Structure 1
Amino acid sequence: MTMMVKDPGTRIDFEFDWGAAYPGGQVVVASDWSVAPMEEGGVTVIGGAHDLMEVTVTLAGGIAGRVYRVTNRVTMSDGQIDERSMTLRVQER
């Protein structure tokens, strides 16, 4: 699991590249994002996008000193469903 750092006052994009995991021609047809824990003032998903192999999420907020898990769940063109997570530490920069 990847560890990323973000300032609580920033709005920033993060990306996962699914191409290496699915070299056989499958493409991303759906992508959903979640953040845990969900809490008042915590990190929120404010946007997301995907193309054939890459997915992007825009995250905002977060409480300094807290750690969150951001998970991307994708559906591939052949019906497979997979997910990846990253750890996101929020700290003042």
Structure 2
Amino acid sequence: MSFEPTKRRALIVYLKNMRQARQLRRFGIVNYISNKMKFASVYVDEGDVETKKKLIERLGFVDHVELSHWPEIDTTVGGQQSMDEIDFAVDSDDVFDDVAQEEEL
């Protein structure tokens, strides 16, 4: 038996009233609640995203719901380059030949 993680997606729920934010726990895992910006982050299963989004939007204390775009973003930094291919260059204008004097410091 192997472990398979369940695919989840975040719903960003903007609220009118923060008192009912705890009620979002029945729809999924409430990851974060911001009282200042009046939103909550709720993780739901990937297959139930559309149905849960419609149910949450019908609640009276919810302003609107947005779907997180995190799975669509490419998270690789710098492409497919290896460390041998990266060329580090220093401009001659950026290099100082003078040693700092104590008065300058």
Under a length normalisation based on structure 1, what TM-score does the superposition of the two structures give? 0.37
| Higher helix residue share | 2
Higher relative contact order (CA 8 A, sep 6+): 1
| Higher strand residue share | 1
Higher Rg of the two aligned structures: 2
Under a length normalisation based on structure 2, what TM-score does the superposition of the two structures give? 0.34
